[in-house]
Amino acid sequence: MNKLTPADLLPLERYAAERAAFRARVIAHKQLRNVALGPHITLLFEDRLTVQYQIQEMLRIERIFEVAGIQEELDAYNPLIPDGRNLKATMLIEFPDAQVRAERLSQLVGIEHRVYAEVHGQPRVFAHADEDMERSNDSKTSAVHFLRFEFPPAAIGALGNGASLSLGIEDPRLPECVLVPARSRTALLSDFSR
């Protein structure tokens, strides 16, 4: 997928006028790109549209309109756009109660490195987590991680030919495995160059 440029972004006043419709479109789009790994972890698979929305919202909230500021946001968020060989996701670890959340995050150190994607008949692909930033330490993991699943050509080909896609966590602290629903699988397939 092509990275976003300043030309892809709406000026603040135009975005304000079109925000409600754009937001509704993105919410519908994201519904197909969210996969729950059990009750406490959600993977939000990013693409050009989800990243464009995130940048537009940051520009709006921060009232950024200068060229340098816009470029900073593009530089920060463009790495979340898949490049045709991978899927990229924001991983959310969610526990509603703050005290429980703090306790569980201290128990789940490194869990982000145990998340995998598996195309039927192909080897598991483990996520590369938080490549450009430290989001965890020895005493706790973050509630938000950024994951990249790099697929070999054979797995992309199998997925394109109809093979199923599973996502999971290979860790005894929080073992999970889910079959990605057909509609979501089709949405994610569009992230690959074939």
**Domain limits of the chain?**
1-31+48-81, 83-194
Cα 74–Cα 50–Cα 182 angle in degrees, nearest 5: 145
Does 60 or 132 have the greater pLDDT score? 60
Tokens (6 digits) for 14: 């135009």
pLDDT at 176: 95
pLDDT at 125: 96
CB-based contacts of 70, cutoff 8 Å, min separation 6 = 6, 9, 59, 64
Question: Whole-model pTM above 0.85?
Answer: yes
pLDDT at 137: 67
CATH 3.40.1350 fits 83-194, yes or no: no
pLDDT at 135: 64
pLDDT at 169: 97
* Buried residues in 166-187 as b, exposed as e (16+ CB within 10 A): bbbbeeeebebeeebeeebbeb
pLDDT at 132 over 90: no
pLDDT at 72 over 80: yes
What percent of the chain shows pLDDT beyond 70? 96
Tokens (6 digits) for 49: 């549209």
Strand, helix or coil at 92? strand
